[in-house]
Amino acid sequence: MRIDLAQATRLATLARDGDADAFDALVAACDRVVLELAERLLLDHHEAEDVRQLAWLKAWRALPQFDARASFPTWLYRIVVNACRDRTRARQRAAQHAGPMRALPLALAAAQRGPAADLERDELRQRVVAAVEALPAEEREAVVLRHFHDLNASEIAEVVGRPRTTVQSCLARALARLNFRLKPHAGAPAFSDPVTRTP
Amino acid sequence: MSCERILPLLPLLALDADDSDETRAARGHVNECERCSAALRELESTRADLDAFTVADSPATDAAEIRAAFVPGHASVAPAGRGRLRWLWKAAAAALVVGATAGFAWTHGSVTLERGTATLRVAWGANERAPGSALDEREDSIEPEAVATVLVELERRVDQLERRHERDLLLLAQTVDRQQESRERGVSQRIDSLEEATHDGFLFTNSVLDGVARRLAKPVDATGAVAPANPENQANH
C-alpha cells in the first residue's frame, strides 16, 4: 500500500498552516499505512497500535517543521520507523531485565491474531511472519518498505537513514534469506543459502 | 555476463529495486538462460508469499484526539539525549545570569522604600562610598529617577549577558551537531566498506566452492590425478 504522494503532501502543507480538517483527512488517508508498517516491523499488533498513536502525536507536534518541498510519506515513514526502533530497543531492555520468560515468540503471537481465512493461508502467514522475524532489523525495514509500501531504493535510503548501496545490499540479502526459509526444498541451488552457507 | 555474476543480482531483479545498466544487462541474460530464469522465478514466488503477511483491522486513529493532545510546535522532537544536554546548558546559563545579577547588585546596590510623601533610600557597595558620585550627593534627597536609572542599567546588563550566553549556547549546539554528523558519516562509510568487502568475500567463496564442486565431479584416475576432460563434454558444457 502506497500513500498518494501529491495528495498527502498537499494536506500536510495545509495542516501545517493551521487547517485542522486537512490534518484529519491526512490521518484518515495514511492511518492504515502507518499501522501496517508498524506491525510488520514490530510483529505485534498491539504494539503496532501504540506506535501508530505515538507516530501521529510526533507528526502533529513536528508538523510546523515540515518542509513542503519534501515528500510527506517519506517524512511520515521516517517517524514510524524511528518509533519502531525505539520500541524495539525498549522491548529488548525489558526482556533483558525480565529474563527468558518474557521473550515469547512474537511472531507466533502475532500470527495467532491474524485474520485466518483458512488453515492453509494461516499456516503460510505464520511461516512468512517467522521468516520476517528472523531477518536482521535493517533488512526487515528495507524489504517491508520495498514490498509492502512500494518505496524504491533511494526513498528507502532516505527513510532509514542509510546509503542507497547499503539498502540494495540489505534488500538482496533479505530476499535471499526469506527464500531460504520459505522454500527450503526449492530447486535453485544458488539460493539454497547464498548469504551464510549455513542452514 | 556469466551466471555467477548474475546470481547476486537476482534478488534485486525480483524486488525490482535497481535500474542500473548492470541490472538491465542481467535481465537480458535471464531471458536467455534457463537456470537463472528458474532462480528468478523462485525468488519472485518468495516475494509473492510475503503478501500472506496481512495485518488485522483496527479502530482508526482519532485525529481530533491527537490534535487536542497539545499545540503543534510547542515542544521540539529532539532526541532525549540532546534535549537533556540543552536543559543542562539552559540551567547553567540561568545560574550564571542570576550570579551576575547578584554580583552587580552587590557592587551597585540600593533600595528605595516609599510611604506616602516619605522616602527612604538605603545604598551599599561601591556607590555608597564613592566620593562625589551622583548618588552620594543626592543621598539625602532621594529621587526615584536615580533608582530607575540603576534599574535600567541593571536590566541592560542582564540582557547583554543573556544574549551572550544564548549565542554561546547556539554555537555549542551547532558544534555538537557537526561533530555528531561527522561521526555518523564516518560510521556509515565504514559499514559500507565492510559490507562491500563481505560481499566480495562471499562471491569469492562461492566461486571457490563451485570450482571444488566441478573438480569433484570430474573422474579421477588410479593415481588420484584428475582425468583430462572429454572434449565433447567440454564443448557441450
Say whether both B161 and B212 belong to one domain. Answer: yes
Residue B25 lies in a domain: yes
pLDDT of B76? 41
pLDDT of A21? 92
Residue ranges of chain B whose pLDDT lies below 50 = 73-83, 126-140, 234-237
Residue A176 lies in a domain: no
pLDDT of B87? 62
- Residue B112: strand pairing partners: B121
Flag if B11 and A62 touch (Cβ within 8 Å).
no
Say whether both B87 and B151 belong to one domain. Answer: yes
Say whether both B91 and B200 belong to one domain. Answer: yes
pLDDT of B113? 53
Residue B76 lies in a domain: no
Q: Which residue in A60, A132, A194 is closest to B53 by CB distance?
A: A132
Three cell numbers, residue B80: 532525549
Q: Which residue in A61, A165, A171 is closest to B75 by CB distance?
A: A61
pLDDT of A69? 82
Say whether both B91 and B45 belong to one domain. Answer: no
Nearest-Cα residue of chain B relative to residue A79: B77
* A23 at interface of B, judged by CB pairs closer than 8 A: yes
Say whether both B98 and B1 belong to one domain. Answer: no
- On chain B, the residues whose CB falls within 8 A of the CB of A20 are 67
Residue B73 lies in a domain: no
Residue A98 lies in a domain: yes
Q: Which of residues 68-97 of A touch B (CB under 8 A)?
A: none
Is pLDDT larger for residue B203 or for residue A99? B203
Range of the domain at B189: 82-105+144-217
Residue A38 lies in a domain: yes
pLDDT of B134? 47
Which residues, at least 6 apart from B80, have a Cβ–Cβ distance to it below 8 Å?
A: none
pLDDT (tens digit per residue) in A8-48: 888 999 999 888 899 999 999 999 999 999 999 999 999 99
Say whether both B99 and B202 belong to one domain. Answer: yes
Cβ–Cβ under 8 Å, residues A190 and B7? yes
Say whether both B100 and B158 belong to one domain. Answer: yes
* B54 at interface of A, judged by CB pairs closer than 8 A: yes
CATH of the domain at A33: 1.10.1740.10
- Residue A132: name the closest of A77, A181, A78 by CA: A181
Nearest-Cα residue of chain B relative to residue A66: B73
pLDDT of B183? 85
**In the predicted model, what is the mean pLDDT of chain A?**
83
Average pLDDT for A89-99: 77
Residue A123 lies in a domain: no
Neighbour-count burial of B236, counting CB atoms closer than 10 A to its CB (0-12 exposed, 13-18 middle, 19+ buried):
exposed
pLDDT of A7? 85
Range from A50-54, A80-84, A185-189, B207-211 carrying the lowest mean pLDDT: A185-189
Say whether both B43 and B150 belong to one domain. Answer: no
pLDDT of A105? 47
pLDDT of B142? 54
Say whether both B44 and B91 belong to one domain. Answer: no
Number of domains observed in the structure of chain B: 2
Confidence class for position A178, pLDDT limits 50, 70, 90: very high
pLDDT of B6? 85
Flag if B55 and A168 touch (Cβ within 8 Å).
no
Range of the domain at A24: 1-102
Is pLDDT larger for residue A173 or for residue B184? A173
Residue A58 distance to chain B (closest CA, Å): 7
pLDDT of B181? 83
Flag if B192 and A163 touch (Cβ within 8 Å).
yes
The angle at the Cα of B64, spanning B59 to B66, to the nearest 5 degrees, equals: 80
Residue B58 distance to chain A (closest CA, Å): 8
Q: Which residue in B9, B61, B209 is closest to A31 by CB distance?
A: B61
Residue B166 distance to chain A (closest CA, Å): 22
Confidence class for position A198, pLDDT limits 50, 70, 90: very low
Number of domains observed in the structure of chain A: 1
* B207 at interface of A, judged by CB pairs closer than 8 A: no
Say whether both B191 and B100 belong to one domain. Answer: yes
Residue B121: strand, helix, or coil: strand
Residue B228: strand, helix, or coil: coil
Query: CA torsion B90→B96→B101→B105, rounded to 10°?
Result: 160
Residue A3 lies in a domain: yes
- Residues B164, B152: Cα–Cα separation, whole Å: 18
Q: Which of residues 66-95 of B touch A (CB under 8 A)?
A: 66-67, 69-70, 72-75, 77
Residue B207 distance to chain A (closest CA, Å): 11
Residue A15 lies in a domain: yes
